[in-house]
Each structure stands twice: as structure tokens, then as C-alpha cells.
Amino acid sequence: MGELIISEGYELRHHLDAGREGLTLYTAPGAAREIALYDEAGNYRPLKTAPTLRRGWRMGLGAIGDLQEALEGFYPAMLAARLAHQNGKLRVTPLRETLNRQSGMYAITKKMTDEQANATVCAFCNSTSGCLKTILWQIAPGIPITTLPPEKSAPHGDFPLLCAEGCNLLVARAREVVKQETP
Amino acid sequence: MIAAKPHSALLLLGHGSTVNPDSSGPTFTHADEIKRRGVFAEVACAFWKEEPSFRQALTMVESPEVYIVPNFISEGYFTQKIIPRELELAGPVTRREGRTLKYCEPVGSHAQMTELLLHRAREVAPGVDPRVASLVIVGHGTSLNENSGLAVKEQVARIAQRGVYAEVLGMFMEEEPFVTDWRKLTSAANVIVVPFFVSDGLHSYQDIPVLLGIEAEPGVAASRAEVFRHNPHLTGGRSLYYSSAIGTDPFFADVILDQVARFDSQPIFTAA
């Protein structure tokens, strides 16, 4: 799931720490939120699905409930999104709809063009440096994202991280882009 | 004390921050405490600027009844516009897809806020005689909603009525009277400033100290500072005491539960 590997006995660790010894052990599921708070360099991680989860720890959890709580700390709301998607109940919102309902300082994002939106999504949501989620939404109905590889829109694996709607961080970036590029 | 609600969920909504790691902390802490008490079947948090987002909030709980409590100070822009819009609430009660969503008042409108503000003021300046001190309550304030500053103004009126402090003033970051003008607006030698905020986040820990002139630029987040803050700050012949935000007080867990109980006690909202 994301950068995590889930092993038998409800054990979690960073996938790049597979097989590594000497990791710091945590047994309380609440530690997940603390681990996910900062990246390796100590920078705050407002986007939990950014590919910047730090390494050097493992979690040994006692029960499935603790595992769920820890996964919620690492990737908030992602278990619920997966379940809703499996049941055909995940509501997906096109970016245009998200931008059109903004108000206050974000109201300016209504002016974003499809071209600007595509470029912004590519720069901000790409899996290499932006976000690991699979994007289920389009720019607008019938206007797909064309700047990211097709696999970015195709859920894969047992525990896909699913994006049903552009997040507030993307909206904030959209605001910056529109402010900079609108004459 | 609130009765157990084994078929209900509690959803706590906070502002959160994309730049400050401490903004959402108190909301999670209060949620953890309420979870520990076992009042609700489920307890979850969601945020405007962090994950889980307001839009994801209702996917995280399954109970047929959901109490939604904004961990916000003001009955303003966020509680009246953003939250109802993002969660698609129709009013105090929304019935949708077999669920009943009950939208409670924000924590900042709780009657105990006056005591909490006074407690913070005494705590930060223990040796100062309030009769010769100015007390300043600072809020965010915004031109986006005329009610945003109301919570501060109401508390200022209540505290002033008690006649404990030489003067009590409300000031704001983004509306008049501005906190930057505190030197002109206050008259006592000792000035005690209490931020009426839910966390020691970006505004209360990093921005307001700059506006007060006690920091040259926004420092590191509170959780990254070695010492929370030294008091008093001596400036222009005055002693300024700056407290932490009231929302970090553990009593806020009780305030949140009270807002739920208060909702239930209003028959107009609960009638089917």
C-alpha cells in the first residue's frame, strides 16, 4: 500500500526497508501519524500520499484494528476510498466541478483553463515527485488528463491509493498558477 | 456528562495547515481523548487543509447518525459557508442515504470559553495584577464574513463586564482593530495577549508574534522549538505576555461533547 509493506502478524514498514535489521520498533498504532508527519529531512508532509515517507522504523501491531488505525495514520481515508470503490459507491468529482465551487481566496481558480489544469496536474500529482494516488477524476467530463501516463488513472495492487477528487493542495497550486499566468 | 451513543459517530472538523505541523494536533488529541472515553461508536477527524479532507470526512464513518462538531472558534466563514458546502449539509439536520447528519455549533461558541481565556491570561502572567493590566484577545477576523470577529467581541464584552482587568480589548489579524496596533490601542504597562485560536499553529504561534513585534520573522513551529516562549517580552517600556492558544487546553474534549449534548437538547433540530 503506497510506500508501505504489510507483512504477516500485522507488521508494517517502508518497502525500501524490507529485510532490514535494526529498525526502530513501534507498537502503538497512533505512532503512524507521527512517523508520517515529517520526511527524512525533517520537512512537514501536508500530503500524506507524497512519495516521501521516511524510513528506519517498523510497526508491530497486535490486531487487525490496530493495523487499520495505523494505515489511517499513514494514508488517511484511503481504506474507506478503497472499500467504496470496490462497492461501486466512490463518488468521483471532476476537477472543473471542484474549482467551480471554490470561494474566497480560491475563487480565482474558476478561471483556470483546461490546458493550465493539465499542466498543473502533471507537475503536482505525478507519482515520482508529487503524489502516489491513482487519479480517478477527469479535468471535466469528457476531458481526460493527457499529461500523465495512463497507469496514473488505473488502480492497481491490493490496496490502491485512490483520488476521487482534487485535494485542497492542488486547488491552492491552481490558485498560484492562475494568479501568475492570468494577464 | 453525555450518555453513550453506541450507534453514532463523531466527526471533528478542523482547519489544518499545509505549512504548520501543529495545526491539526489539538483536534487529533481531543478526538483521541473522546475515543478513549468510549462515548461514540466511531470518532474521526477531517480538515480543510489536510488529509483526511472535508470531502472525505463522511466516507470515514458508517454509523446511521453522525454528529459533526467544528473545532473552530468563530461562527463565521468556515462554519457557515465552507463546511456546509463541502459536506453538502442542508442545515442543522441533513438526512441522506439512510444517515442523519447533525451539525453542531463550533467549540468557540461554548459558554466555557470565557473561563478558558481568563485561565490562560492568569497562567501566562501569574505575578501580574490584572487591575493594572491590559488584556487583549486576538482573533483571525476576515472580510469574507462579518460574523468572523463576533466570537472575540462577545468574549471581550463578557470579560470586561467582570471588571477584573484595567481594560479588555479585541484585536484581529485581518480586520480592524489590527493586532499590529496594540501599542497605540492599549494603555497599561503590562499587556497580556491571549490568542483565541484552536491550536498553536501558523497564525497563533508564528504569525501573531510577528504582528505584535516580539519576533522579527515567523520562527519554527511550536513542536520544533526548544522552549515554547519566553515571557514577558520587554518592548518600548511595556511588558508583553503572550500565551498559547486556548484550543490546546485538554478541557476542549469536554467542550466538544457538550456541543453534542447541546445539539440534542434543542428539540427544533431533533424533531423528525
Confidence of residue B220 (pLDDT cuts 50, 70, 90): confident
CA B171 – CA B139 distance, rounded (Å):
6
Nearest to B24 by CA among B57, B48, B6, B55: B48
Mean pLDDT within A26-36: 96
Flag whether pLDDT at A160 surpasses 60: yes
CB contact (8 A) between residue B53 and residue A104: no
Chain A residues whose beta carbon lies within 8 Å of the beta carbon of residue B144: 103-104
* B205 and A CB contact within 8 Å: no
CB contact (8 A) between residue A48 and residue B51: yes
Flag whether pLDDT at A138 surpasses 60: yes
* B84 and A CB contact within 8 Å: no
- Nearest beta carbon to residue A77 from set B21, B56, B77: B56
Give the residue from chain A lying closest to B28, CA to CA: A33
Determine contact, residues A136/A153, Cβ cutoff 8 Å: yes
B202-206: list long-range contacts, CB under 8 Å, 24+ apart: B202/B17, B202/B19, B202/B20, B202/B23, B203/B140, B203/B173, B204/B138, B204/B244, B204/B245, B205/B20, B205/B22, B205/B244, B205/B245, B206/B20
The pLDDT, as a whole number, for residue A88 is: 94
Flag whether pLDDT at A121 surpasses 80: yes
Confidence of residue B227 (pLDDT cuts 50, 70, 90): low
Condensed to tens digits (0 to 9), the pLDDT of residues A171-180 reads 999 999 999 9
CB contact (8 A) between residue B51 and residue A30: no
Confidence of residue A167 (pLDDT cuts 50, 70, 90): very high
Confidence of residue B144 (pLDDT cuts 50, 70, 90): confident
Distances (CA, A) of A101 to A94, A107, A126, B252: 12, 8, 24, 32
CB contact (8 A) between residue B53 and residue A101: no
For the beta carbon of residue B60, count every other beta carbon within 10 angstroms.
Answer: 21
Chain A residues whose beta carbon lies within 8 Å of the beta carbon of residue B17: 46
The pLDDT, as a whole number, for residue B185 is: 96
Chain B residues whose beta carbon lies within 8 Å of the beta carbon of residue A53: none
Mean pLDDT within B172-195: 95
CB contact (8 A) between residue A77 and residue B82: no
Mean pLDDT within A85-90: 94
Flag whether pLDDT at A76 surpasses 80: yes
Task: Please tell me the least confidently modeled range out of B118-127, B135-144, B212-221.
Answer: B212-221
Condensed to tens digits (0 to 9), the pLDDT of residues A95-119 reads 999 999 999 999 999 999 999 999 9
The pLDDT, as a whole number, for residue B271 is: 41
Mean pLDDT within B224-248: 85
Confidence of residue B57 (pLDDT cuts 50, 70, 90): very high
Size of interface A-B (CB pairs under 8 A): 53
Flag whether pLDDT at A139 surpasses 70: yes
The pLDDT, as a whole number, for residue A86 is: 93
- Nearest beta carbon to residue B53 from set A38, A167, A172: A167
The pLDDT, as a whole number, for residue B269 is: 52
Mean pLDDT within B144-152: 81
* B270 and A CB contact within 8 Å: no
Largest CA distance in chain A: 58
Confidence of residue B266 (pLDDT cuts 50, 70, 90): confident
Condensed to tens digits (0 to 9), the pLDDT of residues B67-98 reads 999 999 988 889 999 999 999 999 999 999 99
The pLDDT, as a whole number, for residue B202 is: 82
Chain A residues whose beta carbon lies within 8 Å of the beta carbon of residue B60: 77, 80
Confidence of residue A17 (pLDDT cuts 50, 70, 90): very high
The pLDDT, as a whole number, for residue B142 is: 79
Chain B: closest CA distance from residue A169 (Å): 7
The kind and range of the H/E element at A6 are strand A4-7
Mean pLDDT within A132-154: 96
CB contact (8 A) between residue B52 and residue A168: no
Flag whether pLDDT at A24 surpasses 70: yes
Flag whether pLDDT at A150 surpasses 80: yes
Residue scoring higher pLDDT (B231 or A133): A133
Chain A: closest CA distance from residue B117 (Å): 29
- Nearest beta carbon to residue A76 from set B32, B51, B144: B51
Flag whether pLDDT at B64 surpasses 60: yes
C-alpha cell at B110: 461554548
The pLDDT, as a whole number, for residue B67 is: 98
The pLDDT, as a whole number, for residue B270 is: 46
CA B68 – CA B27 distance, rounded (Å):
13
pTM of the shown model? 0.92
